[in-house]
């Protein structure tokens, strides 16, 4: 038994020597000494900046705009602005090569799907190797359809799903699904020859006419579509670092509130001990794929039955990554150690259970939407107004709740994020 009941070891069974846990993400024998870190707008990149900066590791961080929040971290010493792959992939690759030479970086680390896909497509044109999953890993984890097919072959529960492509959408038979139906783009990013494009967000439709309109719009924009049954539940993520499909370190979290009560990015999440069922399904899934790198398996737990359903895999660092260091698990640094073939000690795999990470802006948006009230057609659970106010205000005084952006140690990214969000809306 552990002396501290709130401290658990994340996948303590993994004790491979350093030489056996180095993931095949870089050319044989290649170890990063200075990293060109991309996607400065994201919490994923900010987590790496803060972790690596505290450890004194060498990196330069880039953003798609001068307001990208990671550029304002106290730990950012070298920074730059590059062309987004959503604007022009060719210029993106040219910028990456130019800044690698300018900052004497020997590898590139993109954290967004758009940048990962662009680097994967143009690997041979990059001057230095990208730290990204292999081509097959990307195909299996960036495609929701591929992920769900693997899960089903392993007997892992998934929502009832129909995959719609451009050639068959007018013959949709949604009789196996009951309305409301959840409509998702098959992948978060669509690759075109000149640029990438972010897919449309998840939508809920309540009749055949809405279904055909939503599917038609997405398919016309080059996106294949998944139709899924609606499951009223809460999100759980099992995330960590993998090498050849083996979990090296894992952490579990549960979504407490989302920026939109109807579904959206996490606003408040809490670290949890990993349910044995989810441990088994997650390890089986990644072992079958043979994945190497950081990733998260996302589940939805049915509120009525407690049944977990696999929803998707993020084959990259995830949006709630900052929660891990807040709970004592420095995943960005452990990933750097993996890339350099350094052994991860048992004490480095521990994290505290019951730590809540909060994005106050997203939580405030959640509160306003709760006060606005539920839509008449929403069939799932919706917070009552007085409970929403109580939980929102309570988070300011809860000692276990930590704001993940507005920190005493590094507050400027929070204010840059406010400007970043404002600029993106105008």
What are the angstrom distances between the C-alpha of 359 and each of 157, 189, 259, 352, 400?
31, 24, 9, 19, 14
Give 3-state DSSP helix, strand, coil % of the chain, rounded to 5: 35, 25, 40
Contacts of 359 (CB under 8 A, 6+ apart): 43, 259, 265, 266, 267, 268, 403, 404, 405
- CA 387 centroid distance within chain: 28
Q: How many residues does the chain have?
A: 426
Q: Within 10 Å of residue 83's Cβ, how many Cβ atoms?
A: 17
DSSP 365-393: HHHHHHHH---TT--S----HHHHHHHHH
When the pLDDT of each residue in the chain is averaged and rounded to a whole number, the result is 91
Which tokens go with 259? 């920026």
d(CA 231, CA 233) in angstroms, rounded, equals 6
Which tokens go with 19? 């030489």
DSSP 84-95: -TTT-HHHHHHH
Domain residue ranges in the chain: 29-132, 160-229, 233-424
- pLDDT band at residue 254 under the 50/70/90 scheme: very high
Average pLDDT over residues 170-192: 82
Average pLDDT over residues 97-117: 97
CATH 3.30.1490 fits 160-229, yes or no: yes
CA angle 62, 64, 70 (to 5 degrees): 50
Query: Residue 337's closest CA among 217, 248, 270?
Result: 248
Which tokens go with 359? 């994005």
State whether residue 394 is helix, strand or coil: helix
User: Could you tell me where the DSSP H helices lie in 290-359?
Assistant: 323-326, 331-339
State whether residue 344 is helix, strand or coil: coil
d(CA 256, CA 172) in angstroms, rounded, equals 35
- CA 336 centroid distance within chain: 18
DSSP strand E in 289-373: where?
A: 293-302, 308-314, 350-352, 356-358
Cis peptide before 366 (omega within 30 of 0): no
What is the model's pLDDT at position 12?
39
Percent of the chain surpassing pLDDT 90: 80
Give the up-direction half-sphere exposure of residue 262: CA atoms within 13 A in the CB hemisphere.
17
What is the model's pLDDT at position 15?
44
d(CA 362, CA 261) in angstroms, rounded, equals 11
- Among the listed ranges 14-18, 79-83, 243-247, 304-308, which one has the minimum average pLDDT value? 14-18
Which tokens go with 119? 């680097």
Average pLDDT over residues 405-426: 89
Region of 85 please: left (phi>0), alpha (psi -120 to 50) or beta: alpha
Average pLDDT over residues 204-212: 89
For the beta sheet containing 34-37, the strands, ordered from the edge strand earlier in sequence to the opposite edge, are 79-81, 58-63, 34-37, 107-109
What is the model's pLDDT at position 421?
82
d(CA 99, CA 81) in angstroms, rounded, equals 9
State the fold for domain 233-424: D-amino Acid Aminotransferase; Chain A, domain 1 (3.30.470)
What are the angstrom distances between the C-alpha of 201 and each of 225, 267, 333?
11, 17, 32
Q: Which residues pair with 271 in a beta bridge?
A: 253
**Do residues 271 and 146 make contact, with C-beta atoms less than 8 angstroms apart?**
no
What's this model's pTM, rounded to 2 decimal places?
Answer: 0.93
pLDDT tens-place string over residues 350-376 = 999 999 999 999 999 999 999 999 888
CATH second-level architecture of 29-132?
3-Layer(aba) Sandwich (3.40)
What is the model's pLDDT at position 181?
93
């Amino acid at each position: 038994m552990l002396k501290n009941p709130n401290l658990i070891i994340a996948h303590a069974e993994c004790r491979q020597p350093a030489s056996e846990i180095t993931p095949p993400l870089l050319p044989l024998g290649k170890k990063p000494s200075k990293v060109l870190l991309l996607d400065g707008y994201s919490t994923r990149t900010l987590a790496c900046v803060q972790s690596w900066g505290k450890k004194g590791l060498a990196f330069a961080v880039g953003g798609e705009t001068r307001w990208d929040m990671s550029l304002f971290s106290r730990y950012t010493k070298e920074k730059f602005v590059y062309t987004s792959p959503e604007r022009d992939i060719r210029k993106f690759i040219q910028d990456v090569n130019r800044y690698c030479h300018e900052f004497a970086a020997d590898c590139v680390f993109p954290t967004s799907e758009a940048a990962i896909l662009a680097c994967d497509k143009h690997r041979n044109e990059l001057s230095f190797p990208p730290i990204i999953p292999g081509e097959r890993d990307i195909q299996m984890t960036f495609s929701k359809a591929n992920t769900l097919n693997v899960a089903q072959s392993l007997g892992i529960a998934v929502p009832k799903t129909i995959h719609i492509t451009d050639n068959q959408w007018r013959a949709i038979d949604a009789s196996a699904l009951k309305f409301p139906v959840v409509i998702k783009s098959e992948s978060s990013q669509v690759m075109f020859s000149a640029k990438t494009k972010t897919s449309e967000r998840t939508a809920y439709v309540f009749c055949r006419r809405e279904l055909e309109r939503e599917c038609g719009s997405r398919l016309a924009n080059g996106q294949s579509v998944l139709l899924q049954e609606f499951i009223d539940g809460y999100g759980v993520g099992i995330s960590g670092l993998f090498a050849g499909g083996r979990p090296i370190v894992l952490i579990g979290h549960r979504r407490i509130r989302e920026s939109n009560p109807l579904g959206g990015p996490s606003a408040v999440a809490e670290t949890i001990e990993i349910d044995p069922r989810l441990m088994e399904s997650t390890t089986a899934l990644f072992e079958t794929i043979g994945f190497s790198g950081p990733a998260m398996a996302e589940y939805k737990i049915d509120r009525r039955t407690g049944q977990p359903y696999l929803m998707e895999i993020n084959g990259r660092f995830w949006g709630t990554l900052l929660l891990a260091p807040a709970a004592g698990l420095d995943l960005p640094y452990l990933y750097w150690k993996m890339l350099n073939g350094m052994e991860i000690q048992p004490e480095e795999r521990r994290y505290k259970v019951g730590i809540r990470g909060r994005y106050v802006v997203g939580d405030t948006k959640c509160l306003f939407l709760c006060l606005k009230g539920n839509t008449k057609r929403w069939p799932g659970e919706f917070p009552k107004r007085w409970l929403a106010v109580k939980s929102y205000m309570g988070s300011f005084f809860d000692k276990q709740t930590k704001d993940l952006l507005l920190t005493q140690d590094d507050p400027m990214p929070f204010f840059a994020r406010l400007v970043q969000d404002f600029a993106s809306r105008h």
